[in-house]
Structure 1
Amino acid sequence: MTGRGRKRSRSIKAFRRTLRWLVALVVIAGAGLFLYSFARDHPEDLPWTQLDLAQPVGMFTRGKLNGLSEDFAQCRGLLERAGVEYDALDPVSSGEQCGYDNAVRFAEGGARNIGFSPAGVGVSCPVAASLAMWEWNVVQPAAQAHFGSPVARIEHFGSYSCRRMYGRDEGAWSEHASANAFDVAGFVLENGERITLVRDWGDAEKGAFLRDVRDGACDLFTTVLSPDYNAAHADHFHFDHARRGMGGACR
């Protein structure tokens, strides 16, 4: 190869290296722009963003809600910023395993508060925050889609109960023992129609609604148990915020 040929070959190689670098920079810049846009438009899907109850449910929402058990003040602040009206409950202590110090009671008639039957239920603050997001993002859209009417009240079997799991005399303590669980029995629509798990789980339309709201709850609570789990849950959903690391139970 002549000197001119070698020079031309080196120039081509240098051009190709430069081109590869330019392509890599364009790809990196494009990826950076995409990530910036995604982070701006979908903060709920990022693990490091602060939880906002008014945002849609994201990939890390459940973990952030579960983490609220460590900071009662933060949890109450999130409820207030989202427009949820509540009363903070005095701490309760009953034996070594029972009691709570982070419970709230939804205020009846609040602008962003759904009704509960019986009224006046108290739950841990993380459960309250999850119930609010569940109603806004899951229950009401599902009710409109299936029945064309919003839900006016949620019927329930309560939250706090100083007992072990399944009411046994021995074994692990229930999340109900710390008001960190809530049992949903049914729904009353604004048009007066009533849907209950014990009666309607096997119904085509009402059962489809109940499964939709069950599935949506799995993105918010670390434990969701339904009639599909066992006979003990044939008449209610059990929701709780048990500490399960990165995982959850949805049955």
Structure 2
Amino acid sequence: MARKIDPWHISRRIGRFTGDRRVIALLLFAALFVAGRAWLAEHPQHDPWAPLDLDDPPGWATPRKLQAMRSDPGQCREVLGRSDIAFTSLEPAGEGACARPDRLRLGDYPLSPPPPPMTCAVAAGLELWQRNTLEPLAQDLFGSTIARVEHLGVYSCRRLYGRSDGPYSEHATGNAIDIAGFVLEDGTRISVLGDWAGDGDKARFLRAARDGACSAFATTLSPDYNAAHADHFHLDMDARWSAVCR
């Protein structure tokens, strides 16, 4: 007579042996892996292997991807193109510590004076800052959009703080920009020098703009850093990441 199989008896035996537990663990791992890959596919901003697209919201992997662009101008230009950002590549310039092999000019960014030559990484940081911080802030606090971002320059072949020795500034290679203020479409002007110390919407705008820049640039310095930055934000794409955010 054939022995009757008891399903309940079999189910109670599953997991008693090492082999059973290994199979179950592998199945669970495989399910989690598949689910994780599917989630990353829907959220590429968190996927370290997905190409950077500046149209995506910032995510866990964004700083590392931005840092990688610092040493790979070709990859950076691919990101700008993929993100539909207009720019013009420029010939290398300078020599020695002030050599600028990576130079481009943004096509329609609202910088005033008009966009100067800069590294691709700085251009990408400016685009991220405008899309994810400046425009939402202007709309939220003032119900307007950004008309101009006023800057004090990008390139300056000099050492840090104008000293005669020591490390060169990121400005020496066009890898930094100093921002002095903002003008909105409704005519509102927001000045780092004049409005940082206030407590109204302009001061709130500037502090939130500074905080947002810390997610888009390797270094962000504001009037909170020292007196030398009382009238501007210093933003650069140094090879380090988030070493200074003040």
TM-score (ref. length: structure 1): 0.85
Question: 1:84-233 to 2 correspondence within 5 Å?
Answer: 84-94=85-95, 96-107=96-107, 113-204=108-199, 205-233=201-229
Q: 1:239 aligns with which of 223, 227, 235?
A: 235
What's the CA shift string for 1:104-126, capped at 9, x where partnerless? 1122xxxxx33111113111111
Cα 1:36–1:169 change in 2 (3 A) is same
What's the CA shift string for 1:119-154, capped at 9, x where partnerless? 131111110011111111111011111111111110
Say which SS state the counterpart of residue 133 (structure 1) adopts: helix
What's the CA shift string for 1:182-215, capped at 9, x where partnerless? 1111111011110010011122211111111111
Equivalent-residue separation in structure 2 for 1:67 and 1:232 (angstroms): 30
Determine if contact 2:219/2:242 at 8 Å carries over to the other structure.
Answer: no
Report the Cα offset of residue 19 of structure 1.
Answer: 8.2
Determine if contact 2:159/2:167 at 8 Å carries over to the other structure.
Answer: yes
Report the Cα offset of residue 77 of structure 1.
Answer: 2.3
Equivalent-residue separation in structure 2 for 1:31 and 1:131 (angstroms): 37
Say which SS state the counterpart of residue 49 (structure 1) adopts: coil
Counterpart for residue 4 of structure 1: none
Cα 1:171–1:142 change in 2 (3 A) is same
Letter in 1 for 2:181: G
Letter in 2 for 1:195: I
Identity of counterpart residues, as a percentage?
44
Report the Cα offset of residue 28 of structure 1.
Answer: 3.2
What's the CA shift string for 1:16-72, capped at 9, x where partnerless? 559867864664355234312321121111222221122111222122122223322
Letter in 2 for 1:59: W
Question: 1:27-46 to 2 correspondence within 5 Å?
Answer: 27-46=28-47
Pick which of 59-68 and 228-237 moved more.
59-68
Determine if contact 2:155/2:172 at 8 Å carries over to the other structure.
Answer: yes
Letter in 2 for 1:82: S
Determine if contact 1:99/1:162 at 8 Å carries over to the other structure.
Answer: no
Report the Cα offset of residue 181 of structure 1.
Answer: 0.5
Report the Cα offset of residue 101 of structure 1.
Answer: 1.3
Q: CA RMSD in A?
A: 2.5
Unaligned runs of 5+ in 2: 1-7
Equivalent-residue separation in structure 2 for 1:57 and 1:73 (angstroms): 21
Counterpart for residue 55 of structure 1: 56
Determine if contact 2:45/2:52 at 8 Å carries over to the other structure.
Answer: yes
Determine if contact 1:122/1:179 at 8 Å carries over to the other structure.
Answer: yes
Letter in 2 for 1:103: R
Say which SS state the counterpart of residue 211 (structure 1) adopts: helix
Determine if contact 1:222/1:248 at 8 Å carries over to the other structure.
Answer: yes
Letter in 2 for 1:36: R
Letter in 2 for 1:97: A
Say which SS state the counterpart of residue 79 (structure 1) adopts: helix
Say which SS state the counterpart of residue 94 (structure 2) adopts: strand
